[in-house]
Structure 1
Amino acid sequence: MVQNFTKRVSSASVEQKEALRQSYAQAKISKPTEESNENTTVAEAVAQMCENLGIKSAYGVSGGAMASLWGALSNSDIDVLNFRHEAGAAFAATEGYFASGNPTVVFTTAGPGITNALTGLFAARGEGAKVILLSACTSAAQRGRWAIQETSTDTLPSSGIFTTGTMFNYASTVESAAQLPQIFRKLALGLSQPGGYVAHITIPTAVQNMSMDQTQLPEKGVSCSLVTSSSEVVANAAKLLSQGTFAIWLGFGARGAASEIRQLAEKTGAAVMCSPRGKGIFPENHPQFIGVTGLGGHGSVMTYMQEQAPIRTLVLGSRLSEPTSFWNQEMVPSRGFIHVDIDPNVPGVAYPHAETLGIQSDVQAFVLQLLSILEADEKSQLQIKTSQPSSLPKPERITVEPGQESPIRPEILMEAIQKVIVDGSDAVVMAECGNSFTWSTNLLQFNQANRYRVSTGVGAMGHAVTGVVGAASARNGKAVAIVGDGAMLMNNEISTAVKYQIPAIWIVLNDARYNMCHQGMKMLGMTGADATIPETDFQMIARAMGAEGIRVTKESEITAALKQAIAANGPVIIDVLIDPDRPAPSKGRNKGLACQGVKSTSEKKPKAASFPNI
């Protein structure tokens, strides 16, 4: 039934597609299960192992070398989605994890299947996702004999791909069924710990069909206690914070402590700022919120640091990486940072010369401990000096003059996205790297955590255009990707979304350029480099693939198009012809570059533009 569904869905109407999608879901639920027996294959045991680890979904591309593993996954209770490219599958698995909170699987065949997935898995590691790569490799008897897509030390470097290290938190090659119980425990331990975890388990083709005793496989994993700091350490932090006004700088690692952070901020009157990935953890409409830092950030943050600088900043769950801080020395308070992070290797690294008290702890646990101390000492000598919210600078808002219809100004597009999608739905919103990132980060406003996703680690083109499929699928609801035309042409998964009728929405900023590069080179006064691309009709591409396509050429058409997309049951692409000459908002970026000594070679200073990694 499931196979018949995939054959029928491409030519169905919208109503038929919804009915078929429901029948597909029912087929997965009502799929008959075989009577269990003690003997099973390694492939079947691995699929069962994944179920026992709490994995609900798997994303990948099939192949002969992993046919048995693919079949075992497909006949398990795991939702298996077949993608068009392994990188797209890996990005989707990453965003599927963040949308659901459940670890995910990426499956690939041997050779290019593995190498194609590496960029997406690199992003998973950098973003802090929990993802397991299951791949196939050449069996021992065939290694070194030029097998099809041979995967061995004769063809691929072992270090890094098949070993624990920079790419993978844990990696293992299954050469015997007897290894599986230990591998299961290792994976369970890694997945139970806070923070991200990316593993690679590769299984030779012949080993996948080996028989094993099913009872050898543990049914449950292991649990780890929460990482917390001692009461003495937290008390010392409270004492330091009481010595003068302080600010709170939030990162993505603080997303699980939104309620506690708001209590802390309102109790102390501290100004609050956040990284691009931290948007929404603290409500952006709150009077104590002073703006987003880094790429696409707000000039109001620098205004605060220059005019009302705190003596310390409490950093919660941020690496203070270049996209978050640009390592701008003006962001360093006179007495430095109190830096709380689950990773002991983070505090003090981004600003090595700044005074830093590093605290390894879960952010929520730390803030709860801090609140407890502040409440206990309210009537004693410990007093927090508060700021007046009314005196704090607010994120600037870009205003545009009415009357223009086309080309569409990005500011007008973002204003409509705010009203229809951010405020009018519960959709997760993602922004691709490039100008899509800066427009969205600067202009969209979120008042709750886990609604906005950007990648500031790897920042790969193609992350959001494919990740949106994983997010929408995992949450069984709307996910919206704001992307550039260059990223959309690089690696989209429209076809995958059509096959499974996943309610993903792509909003394409179509300007026939790699516009961050184009504007950045202009900012530097450099000529000759060509960043233009032929204009593409994404409405036609969408319809050719079986998705709903909408082309927007006038500003008056934007709201209707967005409402149509939100109301649709399946995937929708909105092709928006934007004004390519509107400079992307990046005051924070340019100030950061200026502090690093980057200067324009042009005699006439251009308007603000964004161009990272100069």
Structure 2
Amino acid sequence: MQHTHVKSNHISGQKSSGSTIFAQPTGSLVLSSHEQSSQSEPTQLTVADTVVKMLEDLGVRHAFGVSGGAIASLWASLEHSVIEVLHFRHETGAGFAAIESYFANNRPVVVFTTTGPGITNMLTGLFAARWEGAKVIFLSPATSAPQRGRWAFQETSSYTMPSELFCNSGSLFHYATSIESGEELPEIARRLAAGLARPGGFVAHLSVPTTIQSSLLKASLPRVTFSQTLTTAGEDAIAKSVQLLSEGPFAIWVGFGARGAAEEIRQLAERTGSAVMSSPRGKGIFPENHPQYLGVTGFGGHNSVVKYMQDISPGRILVLGTRLGEFTSFWSPAMVPKKGFVHVDIDPEVPGTAYPSVETFSIQSDVQVFVKALLKYFPNRPGNCPVLPNPQRVPLLPQAEGPVRPDVLMDTIQRVFVEKSDAVVMTEAGNSFAWRTHTLRFTKPGRYRVSTGFGSMGHAATGILGAALVQNNKAVAILGDGAMLMNSEVSTAVKYQIPAVWIVLNDSRYNMCTQGMALLGFKGVDTQMSPVDFVAIARGMGADGIRVESETDLQAVLEKALASKIPFVVDVIIDPTQTAPFGSRIQSLIEQGAKETNK
């Protein structure tokens, strides 16, 4: 047996520019190759069969995509494997579903397309996977060598597409290669195993020319397995963190990257009396009904966070697993503590980036491992916690007349889907995101998902299929009518009987654009859409649904959606005049130059 060891040593020092101090991790990755006995007769497998077997061994159990003639051999091999293959109506929707299936069960997932527009249609989903930190392997065909440059149908080669799509790592793929021979597969298997074992996300692309897919392997492929050691900070970094955090009261800022450390973060907060705030993606990691919870920061966030920073203002903030990007912080100076940040993230490039001029002690580590180490230095007793501002909300009483107010809809979703079920709740970019972030309350991690990085419309509408499928449970998308028209995959949910629910905020317009443009001072901008009956569309595809035009009907309809055994659309006619709780989004846009000027 052969072993390859990749090891990083602990290094600590001062960053060459700015004021961020880096404490890098120790960790190791072990890859093992198991060759078949030389006495055994090798099985004659095609390259396509071998690629699929390699993916099975790496833990892949689901593949999402849209097939075509150029990928016929790979498609057939997938269909005859243990991997469940799901055909979608659009490649982008397949990509979003793949991302959410990964976050639902932490298994690497495959997406697949045919040549040409199949690949370009998948790019949005792949960029989202990279931004979200998912582990996704993209399988696509390419035009075979003898036909390249001759205007083959949907030609896919360096003559017609950028070469970085096929063989270069960079801002989209962590690893990409074009397979031109079966002899390359052992090295490809090793690189995929190493990538999947790395902390954080991993997006790879295997481009397989049509002719190569059906070619026979000359030798058996060695089996590649891997083990993962979590990235951890050294003892000197832990000790320095303890020293900095012990100098006075500190707050904790929790992001999506801390989702595996919910219990440890709660213990740390209670032992130290620290106030806790979360990014929009971090909702529910720290219980939102806890007396030490300040609220959500950024887009759709709470004034209680701003009040805390103004009135109490901690000496430092311990940042756990968030990039502190625009939708989390708006880069606001009001969110900067007096003595700076202690910032923990699995990605060493994250700390110090959002606030480059602020003193930051940076630690590359798995958040759970770091907080567990930190707990050893704090006594197991309740901390001295001041009275903290908390998000306050008084639910509104339903009215029998008029369109549905968005905040009343959110109150009903809270009662039915959040408190009476364990359904995953997702929301789209736009007003639905602002209303949901500001209004709904979660007390456990894993119940809520949103994309605040790439933020593509259609992510929640189709992502719920992946989450519901792998968990065999309800998943709910809260979205606007614009996103529902863009990409919803209701037909796919019907085919595979996936228990998805779409709650559509229907106001016949892109209302975030309407309200945002008005607040920025722009006049006469057309964001209207023709009225749409989403229930009629859903029923036409084999799903069920109900239109809601009165607040008094909401409870019964949402309960019916929750109980439904088939995909269900709730088409809610909402009041378009209520301004969504954007937080400081408009001010951030103005500071970036998006404002009406006198001409």
Q: Secondary structure at the match of 2:545?
A: strand
The answer on 1:575 being equivalent to 2:543 is no
Alpha carbons 1:244, 1:385 under 8 Å: kept:
no
In the alignment, which of 231, 245, 254 is matched to residue 235 of structure 2? 231
AA of the residue aligned to 2:513: C
Is 1:336 matched up with 2:340? yes
- Provide the residue aligned with 2:363 in structure 1: 359
One-letter code aligned to 1:347 = P
1:321 paired with 2:325, answer yes
1:144 partner letter: G
Structure 1 window deviating more from structure 2 (119-128 vs 154-163): it is 154-163
Specify which of 258, 264, 269 is matched with residue 260 of structure 1.
Answer: 264
Q: Which residue of 2 aligns with 1:105?
A: 110
SS at match of 2:570: strand
CA contact (8 A) 1:421 1:427 kept: yes
Structure 1 segment 143-542 matched on structure 2, within 5 A:
143-160=148-165, 162-212=167-217, 215-218=220-223, 220-375=224-379, 386-388=384-386, 391-397=387-393, 400=396, 402-542=398-538
Q: How many residues align?
A: 558
Deviations 1:169-212 (A, max 9, x none): 00011100011111111111111111111000010000000111
Match of 1:579, as an amino acid?
D
Cα distance in 2 for residues equivalent to 1:162 and 1:578? 48
Counterpart selection for 2:56 from 51, 56, 59: 51
> What CA distance in whole angstroms lies between the structure 2 residues aligned with 1:147 and 1:602?
50
CA deviations 1:425-469 (Å, max 9, x no partner) are 110000000001000111000000011000011000111111111
One-letter amino acid of the counterpart of residue 84, structure 1: R
Distance 1:600 1:308, change over 3 A: farther
2:101–2:470 CA contact under 8 A, matched in 1: yes
Q: What CA distance in whole angstroms lies between the structure 2 residues aligned with 1:475 and 1:568?
A: 17
Within the candidate set 143, 147, 171, 1:142 is matched to 147
Cα separation, 1, equivalents of 2:586 and 2:542: 42
**C-alpha distance in 2 between matches for 1:83 and 1:601:** 42
Question: What's the secondary structure of 1:465's corresponding residue?
Answer: helix
Map Cα deviations across residues 145-189 of structure 1 (whole Å, 9 max, x no partner).
Answer: 111110001110112454211100000111000111111111111
Tell me the CA shift for residue 251 of structure 1. Answer: 0.6
1:223 partner SS: strand
Q: In the superposition, relative to structure 1, how do residues 375 and 580 fare at CA in structure 2: closer, same or farther (>3 Å)? A: same
Would you say the 8 A contact 1:245–1:387 is kept in 2?
no
Q: What is the alpha-carbon distance in structure 2 between the residues aligned to residue 214 and residue 192 of structure 1?
A: 26
SS of match in other structure, 2:226: coil
CA contact (8 A) 1:96 1:473 kept: yes
**Deviation of 1:385 (Å):** 7.4
Q: 1:490-545: CA deviations, max 9, x gaps?
A: 11101100101110110000000100000011112211210110110000000001
**1:602 CA displacement:** 11
Whole-Å separation in 2 of the counterparts to 1:364 and 1:136:
40
**AA at the equivalent of 1:124:** A
**Do the aligned partners of 2:271 and 2:379 also contact (CA within 8 Å) in 1?**
no
Residues 134 and 476 of structure 1: CA distance in aligned 2, closer, same or farther (over 3 Å) = same
Question: In structure 2, how many angstroms separate the alpha carbons of the residues matched to 1:264 and 1:301?
Answer: 19
Q: Is the 8 A contact 1:565 1:572 kept in 2?
A: yes
CA contact (8 A) 1:56 1:77 kept: yes
Paired amino acid for 1:475: Q
Q: How many Å separate the matches in 2 of 1:418 and 1:329?
A: 33
Alpha-carbon displacement from aligned partner over 1:102-134 (angstroms, at most 9, x marks no partner): 111001011111110000110000000000000
Contact persistence 2:166–2:207 (CA under 8 A): no
* Partner of residue 60, structure 1: 65
Conserved in 2, the CA contact under 8 Å of 1:299 and 1:588? no
Q: Take 2:351 and 2:133, find their aligned partners in 1: how far apart are those partners?
A: 17
The aligned residue for residue 23 of structure 2 is: none
Aligned equivalents of 1:49, 1:41: Cα separation in 2: 12
Read off the aligned partner of 2:125 and give its amino acid letter.
G
SS at match of 1:505: strand
Q: How far did 1:591 drift? A: 6.0
Give, in angstroms, the shift of residue 401 of structure 1: 5.7
Residues 42 and 220, structure 2, Cα contact 8 Å, conserved in 1: no
How high is the TM-score relative to the length of structure 2? 0.90
Retained in 2: the 8 A contact 1:523–1:602?
Answer: no
Contact 1:302 1:588 (8 Å CA) reproduced: no
Contact 1:122–1:167, Cα closer than 8 Å, also in 2: yes
Aligned residues: CA RMSD: 1.9
Q: Is the 8 A contact 1:341 1:362 kept in 2?
A: yes
Letter in 2 for 1:170: Y
Could you list the per-position Cα deviations for residues 408-437 of structure 1 after superposition, in whole angstroms to 9, with x for gaps in the alignment?
011111011001001111100000000010
Q: Check 1:357–1:567 CA distance in 2 against 1; reply closer, same or farther (3 A cut).
A: same
Shift of 1:214: 6.6
The whole-number CA distance in structure 1 between the counterparts of 2:491 and 2:218 is: 40
Shift in CA distance, 239/520, structure 1 to aligned 2, threshold 3 Å: same
CA contact (8 A) 2:166 2:206 kept: no
Partner SS, residue 39 of structure 1: coil
Question: Percent of aligned pairs with the same residue?
Answer: 58
Aligned partner letter, 1:387: C
What's the secondary structure of 1:534's corresponding residue? coil
Any idea what SS the aligned residue of 1:188 has? helix
Give distance in 1, aligned partners of 2:217 and 2:593. Answer: 62
Deviation at 1:221, TM superposition (A): 2.1
Aligned residue in 2 for 1:39 = 44
8 A contact 1:314–1:338 mirrored in 2: yes
Q: Secondary structure at the match of 1:319?
A: coil
- Give the deviation of 1:585 after TM superposition: 1.2
Instruction: Judge which range, 533-542 or 560-569, deviates more.
Output: 560-569
Greater displacement, 207-216 / 492-501:
207-216
Shift of 1:84: 0.5
Distance 1:138 1:217 in 2: 28
Tell me how far 1:224 sits from its aligned partner: 3.0
**Higher helix share goes to which structure?**
1
User: What secondary structure does 1:483 align onto?
Assistant: strand
Is 1:125 paired with 2:130? yes
What's the CA shift string for 1:345-391, capped at 9, x where partnerless? 01101001101000111100100110012249x9xxxxx97432xx1
Query: Unmatched 5+ residue regions in structure 2?
Result: 1-40
